[in-house]
Amino acid sequence: MSKPIVAIVGRPNVGKSTLFNKIAGRRIAIVEDTPGVTRDRIYADGEWLNRTFTMVDTGGIEPYSEDIILSQMRRQAELAMETADVIVFVCDAKEGVTPADHDVAQMLRQTKKPVILAVNKIDHVKYMDHLYDFYALGMGDPIAVSAGQGLGIGDLLDAVVAHFPEDAPPADEEEHVISIAVLGKPNVGKSSLVNRLLGEERSIVSDIAGTTRDSIDSILTYEGRTYRLIDTAGIRRKRAVEDESIERYSVIRALAAVRRSDVCLIVIDAAEGMTEQAVKIAGYCHEEGKASILLVNKWDLIEKDTYTMESFKKKIAKDLAFMSYVPQLYISAKTGQRLHKILDLVDAVYAQSMMRVPTGRLNDVINEAVTVTEPPSDKGRRLKIYYATQVSVQPPTFVLFVNDPDILHFSYKRYIENYLRKSFGLTGTPIRIIVRKKESEKSDK
């Protein structure tokens, strides 16, 4: 199931970022008034009533300003609205209803998305009378909140969650359909790949940034197996986008697709190799713990000799050092070269991401790893790994119980991860290792 996206919008200085931080439960560096300052920190996850969602903070909207920065911020907000499942419209109770609020309300009506009107800065009962003025915006019942003091946040989130889609049926009631996110820039042949896999021509999202929908889902049946293809909006190169702020919401769209997926297909152009944007999207797949496959498209256009593919693999391995587990497939969406291997590989990496290792076998492998390479020590104290257990899948997540987590150096943790991969396969999926102190163990002196 996807995490719904909640956009927080409103004119400047109404407390959007304060509300964002309050719901997130921590202080986060939110987008500055200048586009591009905190590029990758414009979103955060929230949870309410056992429902998780992704929030997007936006700059203040000045609907008719011709100032370059303000117009870019307005564009950001429009893209956030386009991406969102629910929009929270924040107003300032102390300033009352302003013409700018009416203009923003008019923009929101055109989105045809659920809008929750939050009237902020009602931190005292004397401001409650101001609440009724906001009915004039025609956005339904306003909800009184004080983001600074945390008042009314529960009522606001109740209203937000009420607009989320119903939970999907339990897995035992409905066979799970593997969701595949197809990620990449518009010019890497992603649309051609999707058409070829589906065996039909489809209307693919526009390459023009900001004009596209979040994603288009298609059901694909192959040899009796069913898949859901999530064809995302194109993720453009920085130099191909005049307004850099648009790039932020390309990332938000990609992130939403990644989170909805079971397997990510990262498509790159063989002539360009791993671009900065491709590495960034691959990084999102890794951070979200998704099984991934790297597809090198337009391979038919590359002049090849005996060592061409090997040199490509080495270059990509260098650019994607943090994702050394990702399998690579060299394809041509135009000619159909090796496309028949994609879905078989999807099945394989999905199975690896769902693998559960018996605790006894896991601890045998951990003991073997410790025997081969002794754990590190610090100030005369040596790390002891007492036992390990697997706590979840997608990605496979293991907990190591040790005498002192501070002694476990990053390099030894990476060694354990690599040893687990060598022992159990786990190709194409990240591995999470959590280190905890064994509570009953007294520290050695």
DSSP states of 120-162 as a string? E---SGGGGGGGGGGGGG-SSS-EE-BTTTTBTHHHHHHHHHT
Q: Tell me the pLDDT of the chain averaged across its residues.
A: 79
Domain count, the chain: 3
Tokens of 186: 């518009």
Name the residue among 419, 438, 440 with its Cα closest to residue 375: 419
206 and 296 part of one domain: yes
194 and 301 part of one domain: yes
Do residues 6 and 160 touch, judged by C-beta distance below 8 A?
yes
Considering 76-80, 124-128, 413-417, the range whose residues carry the highest mean pLDDT is: 413-417
Final residue of a domain: which of 331, 353, 375? 353
131 and 250 part of one domain: no
Asked whether residue 167 is assigned to any structural domain, the reply reads no
pLDDT tens for residues 204-228? 333 333 323 334 567 788 888 888 8
- Mind giving me the DSSP string for 169-216? PPTTTSPPPEEEEEE--GGGTHHHHHHHHHTS---PPPSSTTSS-SEE
**pLDDT on residue 77:** 65
pLDDT tens for residues 87-101? 999 999 988 899 888
**pLDDT on residue 60:** 67
319 and 188 part of one domain: yes
161: CB partners within 8 A, 6+ apart: 48, 49, 51, 53
d(CA 106, CA 103): 5
Asked whether residue 33 is assigned to any structural domain, the reply reads yes
Beta bridge partners of 272: none
pLDDT tens for residues 353-380? 999 999 999 999 999 999 999 888 887 7
pLDDT tens for residues 101-116? 898 898 888 888 999 9
- CATH number, domain of 36, equals 3.40.50.300
**pLDDT on residue 211:** 29
The pair phi, psi for residue 27, each rounded to 5°, is: -80, 125
**pLDDT on residue 334:** 84
Name the residue among 52, 59, 67, 14 with its Cα closest to residue 33: 59
User: Does residue 310 register a pLDDT over 50?
Assistant: yes
265 and 334 part of one domain: yes
- Domain with 424 in it: 359-437
Asked whether residue 444 is assigned to any structural domain, the reply reads no
Mean of the pLDDT values across residues 254-263? 82
300 and 377 part of one domain: no
94 and 150 part of one domain: yes
Mean of the pLDDT values across residues 325-339? 88
289 and 368 part of one domain: no
Asked whether residue 238 is assigned to any structural domain, the reply reads yes
Q: Taking the model in full, what pTM does it have? A: 0.63
